[in-house]
């Protein structure tokens, strides 16, 4: 895989900037699963300046035990910008996660776009040709879990700490829409096993893509 260095953490991009830049340059963002492999096989040691990093895996979920509405809305805690995502087939489901990886259609159309809708709203939109996966058994609390096979997202029942388990960071009492993020250190602590489904889109992270 030919990795393309889009932005180091020191010149970090917001989630919208990461998506917009990748779409404009026709670069596919590295997925959560691809980041996971790099973090586990020590590839990250040669690219530490890019962490924390946005992944190209977009997720959306409703707060714990709440049925998914037609739209999942999340308000950035810092910028107060509202992010809106249409739930599609997940409407009415409980404790599920919607997920899709960044990429392009065969004719070059971006699968994911962040479109401004007025001053304080961004519509997170998916190309009509794309399929959003609805992942059941999304954990209602942060803890260690084994991961599902497609996106590398923690699901199911709590698991013992191991090289196969990942620690899920999620909100409980609010909805969320955004890119998963990954890191190798957080406040001096090793963080390769952590999957962050809580990062505000206004945060500035490193960005890596692939040809």
Q: Cα Rg for the chain, rounded, in angstroms?
A: 16
pLDDT recorded at residue 191: 81
Provide the β-strand partners of residue 145: 158, 166
Helix (H, G, I), strand (E, B) or coil at 157: strand
pLDDT in tens, 151-160: 999 999 999 9
pLDDT in tens, 7-45: 999 999 999 999 999 999 999 999 999 999 999 998 989
User: CA–CA separation, 8 vs 206, rounded Å?
Assistant: 5
Asked if 29 and 102 touch (Cβ cutoff 8 Å), the reply is yes
Those residues whose C-beta lies under 8 Å from the C-beta of residue 17, and which sit 6 or more positions away, are: none
C-alpha closest to that of 74 among 17, 120, 31: 120
pLDDT in tens, 128-168: 999 999 999 999 999 999 999 999 999 999 999 898 999 99
Is the pLDDT reported for residue 189 higher than 80?
Answer: no
Taking the CB of residue 196, how many other CB atoms lie within 10 A of it? 24
Average pLDDT of the chain?
96
pLDDT in tens, 85-121: 999 999 999 999 999 999 999 999 999 999 999 999 9
Confidence band of 190 (pLDDT split at 50, 70, 90): low
pLDDT recorded at residue 186: 63
User: CA–CA separation, 80 vs 74, rounded Å?
Assistant: 9
User: CA–CA separation, 28 vs 210, rounded Å?
Assistant: 5
pLDDT in tens, 69-88: 999 999 999 999 999 999 99
- Sign of the alpha-carbon dihedral angle for 146, 69, 17, 172: negative
Asked if 196 and 180 touch (Cβ cutoff 8 Å), the reply is yes
The model's pTM = 0.96
């Amino acid at each position: 895989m030919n990795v393309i260095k889009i932005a180091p953490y020191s010149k970090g991009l917001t989630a919208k900037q990461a998506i917009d830049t990748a779409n404009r340059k026709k670069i596919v963002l590295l997925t959560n699963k691809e980041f996971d492999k790099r973090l586990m096989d020590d590839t990250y040691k040669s690219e530490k300046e890019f962490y924390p990093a946005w992944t190209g895996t977009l997720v959306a979920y409703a707060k714990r035990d709440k049925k998914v509405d037609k739209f999942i809305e999340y308000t950035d805690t810092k910028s107060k910008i509202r992010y809106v995502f249409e739930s599609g087939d997940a409407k009415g489901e409980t404790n599920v996660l919607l997920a899709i990886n960044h990429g392009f259609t065969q004719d070059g159309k971006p699968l994911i776009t962040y479109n401004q809708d007025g001053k304080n709203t961004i519509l997170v939109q998916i190309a009509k040709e794309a399929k959003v996966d609805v992942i059941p058994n999304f954990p209602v609390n942060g803890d260690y879990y084994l991961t599902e096979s497609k996106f590398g997202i923690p699901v199911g029942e709590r698991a013992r700490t191991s090289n196969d388990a990942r620690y899920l960071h999620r909100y409980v009492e609010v909805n969320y829409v955004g890119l998963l993020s990954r890191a190798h250190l957080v406040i001096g602590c090793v963080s390769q096993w952590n999957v962050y489904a809580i990062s505000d889109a206004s945060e500035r992270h490193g960005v890596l893509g692939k040809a």
